[in-house]
Amino acid sequence: MTDIEGQPLWVAIVGSGPAGYYTAEALTKNAENIRIDILDRLPTPFGLIRGGVAPDHQSIKAVARRYEKTAAQKNVRFVGNLNIGSDITIDNLRLLYDAVVLANGAPQDLKLGLSGEDKIGVIGSAEFVGWYNSHPDFASLNPNLNIKDVVVIGNGNVAVDCARILAKTAKEMASTDLAQHAAKLIHTAPIENIYLAGRRGPLEGKFTPKELGELGQLENCVALVDPKQIPNDLMGVDPKELTLKGKNLNHLKKFIENTSSEKPINLHIMFYASPIEILGGDLVTGIKFEKTKVEAGKCVGLGEYFIIPCKMVLSAIGYQSTPISGAPFDPKRGCFKNDNGFIENGLYTVGWAKRGPSGTIGTNKPDGIAVAKLILEQSSPSEKKGRTGLDELVSKCGLKIVTFEGWKKIEEAEENAAEGLAPRAKFSNIEDMLRIID
């Protein structure tokens, strides 16, 4: 336990998602004389928990209760509606705080890098997930879902989330906080086929067993696989992954028994299909794939091609962080240049902004503990103005920040507006949120 006496250690955390809150939790547990401001560009806290985790995974979202305990501590403050990089700079923050931690996640879609990617109907998962989760950045996406065929590219949990949310009925989504604008379109869409396309094989799929298994329990949608693509055993699998891959394989083997006529929507879980071109004019009309095989874990093209006609391509192939002026960025890794969370004197990073988009929500906990330890080892209180200085700057710039109490008013209004079994009806517009606080 590091106790710091006298002048407090001032820490600013940029981003109020899981990585930000786990860092704040670890800092408060290990230092007494510390003051932490958690800054977010949205008026709402909790990052991916609110805007990324699927609306039908409410038990995962419940981890926010843990972050609330940290938020309720006297030495922790939430400062919402403040965009670091545009409202105020990282350099401004570094002049005011002894340590600045970038925990701003990885909110941008990776590009497929394919011809035709700019056609109308090609949508990145960050946009689509943000849209169905009421994220203000994507509330106006308004995708054309008056379609029969959708291709989802990727074999990770986000691809599975997108396919499942498209396939679930209004009844299945009744106890969720699916955005109302999304519910209107999804639950009236005439979708018949969802193709979930992985460029490698079933044993290389990055989905996890619980998420894959859920695809076998949908009311209106049957999960289908090509039996020729499903191996009998786990040959070649890394011994550390045998349990996880074994569970995935069991689910896929069960899907072999399913038939397309069982339910109105067919979910085709496809492997060995690498996207090479998006087809169409201004609008998507299909996607061309190359068949592949896997050699030493790598995807190798076979020179054989096929086309799936469709009017929507959802690309769920991973994310990258948003660069912020004043912090060195590694465009190849899509995150800040850092050495185990250390960027440069007084500047740190954590979570997806540090390591790229991998792992579950819980993976951010050890990450937060590690960066907190580093900060407490390397930083000491100085004469910096901390919170007072930030408030002066905010006032000078005429900015309107949102406190945790302000967020609680938004939350209360959302809960009051919920209908039926839904836990809340989320705002998707920042002006509406600010009006509630006023």
Under the rule (CB under 6 A), what is the footprint of ligand NAP? 112, 153-159, 161, 198-200, 204, 206, 208, 211, 275, 299, 316-319, 357-360
* 3-state DSSP assignment of residue 99: strand
Closer to ligand NAP by Cβ: residue 55 or 154: 154
Q: Minimal distance in Å, beta carbon 218 to ligand NAP?
A: 16
Q: Read off the DSSP letter of residue 339.
A: B
Instruction: List the one residue out of 308, 307, 310, 305 whose CA is nearest residue 285.
Output: 310
Structure tokens at 99: 């340590």
Closer to ligand NAP by Cβ: residue 10 or 336: 336
Query: Which amino acid would we find at residue 102?
Result: L
Rounded Cα distance, 315 and 108, in Å: 12
Q: Minimal distance in Å, beta carbon 158 to ligand NAP?
A: 3
Closer to ligand NAP by Cβ: residue 149 or 161: 161
By beta carbon distance, the residue nearest ligand NAP is 156
Q: Exposure pattern of 157-184 as b/e (b: 16+ CB <10 Å)?
A: bbbbbbbbbbbbeeebbeebbbbebbbe
The DSSP secondary structure of 392-427, one letter per residue, reads HHHHHTT---B-HHHHHHHHHHHHHH--TT-S----
Rounded Cα distance, 56 and 53, in Å: 8
Q: Minimal distance in Å, beta carbon 360 to ligand NAP?
A: 5
* 3-state DSSP assignment of residue 316: coil
Rounded Cα distance, 89 and 14, in Å: 11
Q: Minimal distance in Å, beta carbon 418 to ligand NAP?
A: 23
Closer to ligand NAP by Cβ: residue 53 or 372: 53
Q: Tell me the chain's radius of gyration from C-alpha atoms.
A: 23
Closer to ligand NAP by Cβ: residue 202 or 318: 318
Strand partners, 324: none
Closer to ligand NAP by Cβ: residue 275 or 406: 275
Q: Minimal distance in Å, beta carbon 9 to ligand NAP?
A: 32
Closer to ligand NAP by Cβ: residue 227 or 359: 359
Closer to ligand NAP by Cβ: residue 213 or 389: 213
Q: Minimal distance in Å, beta carbon 48 to ligand NAP?
A: 8
Q: Minimal distance in Å, beta carbon 125 to ligand NAP?
A: 6
* 3-state DSSP assignment of residue 278: strand
Rounded Cα distance, 242 and 239, in Å: 5
Q: Minimal distance in Å, beta carbon 144 to ligand NAP?
A: 23
Q: Read off the DSSP letter of residue 88.
A: B
